[in-house]
């Protein structure tokens, strides 16, 4: 039927036990990380012993320079690999967006610019071009329709001419 409900004291006790176990695990993890770090530092950074003679000091300096060069090469290689992988990730994100078909349109700012200022921005400040858009337009003369003048006459005559089937034919012929 219905499951037995846990009492609040039992739930609180279990919760405190789980938190105690988690705390112990975290402290063990921190200790392990510290030991690993100390072991790595001992392995990579040997204790420095300064020699007494000048020649031995110069050899030590050369050796340290070679080690720093090797480390710099590794760092450079890793940065190049990271940059390459980041570029691949960006390309894959773009491909995913293309496949999904949802594009984020950037918010464009409205810019009021005249044609002259646009040309000046494109061509530079050296070229001062005045653009008259109306000069290149074709001029169209309006024709006065003679049909309008004839239609003003007696309307009764016009209705009688167009009455019946013959009138409809005349109406279509005059329009075409």
pLDDT at 167 over 60: no
Residues 42-100 pLDDT 10s: 888 877 777 788 888 899 899 989 999 999 999 999 999 999 999 999 999 988 888 88
Burial class (CB in 10 A: 0-12, 13-18, 19+), 119: middle
Looking at residues 24-31, what average pLDDT do you find?
97
Tokens 């290149």 map to which residue?
Answer: 136
In the prediction, which pLDDT does 143 show?
72
The per-residue pLDDT for 1 is: 43
| pLDDT reading at 39 higher than 70 | yes
11 exposure class (CB count in 10 Å sphere: 0-12, 13-18, 19+) = exposed
9 vs 161, which has greater pLDDT?
9
Flag whether pLDDT at 147 surpasses 70. Answer: no
What is the predicted pLDDT for the residue at 97?
A: 82
Instruction: Provide the 8-state DSSP code for 126.
Output: S
Tell me: pLDDT of 152 over 60: no
List pLDDT tens digits, range 86-141: 999 999 998 888 888 766 777 888 878 777 777 777 777 666 556 566 667 777 77
């Amino acid at each position: 039927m219905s499951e037995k409900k846990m009492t609040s004291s039992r739930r609180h006790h279990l919760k405190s036990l789980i938190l105690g176990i988690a705390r112990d695990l975290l402290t063990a993890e921190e200790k392990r990380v510290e030991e690993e770090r100390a072991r790595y530092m001992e392995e990579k950074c040997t204790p420095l012993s300064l020699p007494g003679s000048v020649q031995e000091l110069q050899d030590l300096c050369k050796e340290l320079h070679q080690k720093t060069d090797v480390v710099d090469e590794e760092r450079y290689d890793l940065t190049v690999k990271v940059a390459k992988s980041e570029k691949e990730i960006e390309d894959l994100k773009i491909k995913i967006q293309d496949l999904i078909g949802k594009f984020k349109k950037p918010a464009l700012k409205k810019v009021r610019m005249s044609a002259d200022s646009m040309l000046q921005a494109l061509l530079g400040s050296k070229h001062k071009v005045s653009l008259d858009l109306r000069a290149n337009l074709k001029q169209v003369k309006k024709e006065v329709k003679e049909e309008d003048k004839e239609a003003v006459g007696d309307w009764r005559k016009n209705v009688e001419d167009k009455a019946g089937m013959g009138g409809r034919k005349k109406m279509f012929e005059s329009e075409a």
